[in-house]
Structure 1
Amino acid sequence: MTTPRIAIVYHSGYGHTGRLAREVAEGSGGTLLAVDEHGQLPEAAWRQLDEADAIVFGSPTYMGTASWQFKRFLDATSAAWAAQRWKDKLAAGFTNSSGINGDKHGTLSALFTMSQQHGMLWVGTGMMPANVKASTRDDVNALASFAGLAAATPADATVDEMVPGDLRTARLFGERVAAAARRLAPRD
């Protein structure tokens, strides 16, 4: 079986979304591609996205949607869209904000919508929520997100103080994307 090529393209304003991206990469075996502070990717990264079997998109949630840097990247995907280079690739998304809700769904919806314009196949978390009385923030999928990975990091927390349950959820999310990509990858 062919090993799927997975790209994790993300922007991280304060490092928290970057840490989630690293956990997703650890779980998926994917390659990290960082959108810079100007909302740009190097040309080689665009080629990696075009060659990937799955693309995982990640952005912090600022004011209910993706960071402006990530939105600039999303707008720049129009050349890939026009050529249909990402059609039928797997897509998934993740986000982080300081609030438990923080309107993260706005960011995940934007990532989903963009993926659908490209004709991609979306992969959700596939994880049951931590929704019983004994649940804690350290549980997997404590924020009960199904559309994509959602994490909450207090505004005054360092990257090293992120919630362990969110980090485990990110790694498992990466594993899920990799498993889906293996199922759809061409056979040798």
Structure 2
Amino acid sequence: MKNIQIQVVFYSMYGHVYQMAEAIAAGVNEIEGAEALLLQVPELMSEEALKAAGATKARQAFAHIPVANPQQLAEADAIIFGTPTRFGNMCGQMRNFLDQTGKLWLEGKLIGKVGSVFTSTATQHGGQETTITSFHTTLLHHGMVIVGVPYSEQGLLKMDEVTGGTPYGASTLAAGDGSRQPSENELTLARAQGRRVAEIALKLCR
């Protein structure tokens, strides 16, 4: 039987969301019958602006990842979206991408598919939960079945270190200058999210 396709669609500026996307894809691929496809949404900033923001070098790490077309979402059995936080909301690049899915909405192409979200913030209280839950609004309009990370994942209960991770979806902390990289706990939760989405999508598809 053909594997189900789970798209991991992300935007990353400094590489933190990309690292989380790789972990999520690894989790998906651990589940027999599921296969992850990594895609990135188009960039809206100019090369000059990216260079001024110090993002040019970091972006080389995922330059090989194909750029997604909004209509491509219809081919997936589940979609896991990744976005950095911008003032408690998804980034403009992701919003612009989703705003091009009107035709999919009119045709009901995403109804019944699993949808899930992960994120990155600069600080502990920088909007991880609001970014994910506000993103869910768009998924609900598309009729998607939302999946998060349950508290059976012990990493959500860690109190002995600074860490991201929410029941709404995996998350990481990047620090204001982007110097902090995803921790092992954050990556473990990301892999768990990928596995959970794959498991539920398989149940829905078969």
> Could you say which TM-score interval applies, normalised by the shorter chain?
0.7 to 0.9
Tell whether 2:74 aligns with 1:50: yes
Runs of 4+ in 1 over 6 A off after TM superposition: none
Counterpart of 1:83 in structure 2: which amino acid?
Answer: E
Shift of 1:2: 4.8
Q: Which runs of 5+ in 1 are unaligned?
A: none
Query: Which residue is 1:149 aligned to?
Result: 170
Query: Which residue is 2:41 aligned to?
Result: 35
Once residues 86 and 26 of structure 1 are traced to their aligned partners in structure 2, the CA distance between those partners, rounded to angstroms, is: 23
Taking a change above 3 Å as real, the CA distance of residues 21 and 130 of structure 1, as seen in their structure-2 partners, is closer
Once residues 43 and 21 of structure 2 are traced to their aligned partners in structure 1, the CA distance between those partners, rounded to angstroms, is: 16
Q: Which TM-score applies when normalising by structure 2?
A: 0.78
Counterpart of 2:17 in structure 1: which amino acid?
Answer: T
3-state DSSP of counterpart to 1:76 = coil
Shift of 1:52: 0.7
Counterpart of 1:27 in structure 2: which amino acid?
Answer: G
Shift of 1:43: 8.5
Deviations 1:119-166 (A, max 9, x none): 010001113454465x334xxxx445111222212233447x322211
Query: Which residue is 1:184 aligned to?
Result: 204
Shift of 1:6: 0.3
Q: Which runs of 5+ in 2 are unaligned?
A: 30-35, 46-65
Shift of 1:11: 0.7
Decide which of 53, 61, 74 is 2:98's aligned counterpart: 74
Taking a change above 3 Å as real, the CA distance of residues 105 and 130 of structure 1, as seen in their structure-2 partners, is closer
Query: Which residue is 1:6 aligned to?
Result: 6
Shift of 1:79: 1.4
Shift of 1:46: 3.6
Counterpart of 1:136 in structure 2: which amino acid?
Answer: E
Once residues 120 and 111 of structure 1 are traced to their aligned partners in structure 2, the CA distance between those partners, rounded to angstroms, is: 12
Once residues 34 and 156 of structure 1 are traced to their aligned partners in structure 2, the CA distance between those partners, rounded to angstroms, is: 23
Counterpart of 1:119 in structure 2: which amino acid?
Answer: G
Q: For 1:1-188, what aligned pairs fall within 5 Å after superposition?
A: 2-29=2-29, 30-38=36-44, 45-128=69-152, 130-131=156-157, 135-137=160-162, 142-143=163-164, 145-158=166-179, 161-186=181-206
Would the aligned equivalents of 1:3 and 1:182 in 2 still touch at CA under 8 Å?
no
Taking a change above 3 Å as real, the CA distance of residues 102 and 43 of structure 1, as seen in their structure-2 partners, is closer
3-state DSSP of counterpart to 2:167 = coil
Percent identity, please.
31
Counterpart of 1:24 in structure 2: which amino acid?
Answer: I
Instruction: Provide the alpha-carbon RMSD of the alignment.
Output: 2.2
Once residues 130 and 170 of structure 1 are traced to their aligned partners in structure 2, the CA distance between those partners, rounded to angstroms, is: 11
Counterpart of 1:181 in structure 2: which amino acid?
Answer: A
Counterpart of 1:56 in structure 2: which amino acid?
Answer: I
Shift of 1:83: 1.0
Once residues 11 and 145 of structure 2 are traced to their aligned partners in structure 1, the CA distance between those partners, rounded to angstroms, is: 22
Shift of 1:47: 4.6
Counterpart of 1:123 in structure 2: which amino acid?
Answer: V
Figure out how many residues of one structure are paired with residues of the other and give that number. 178
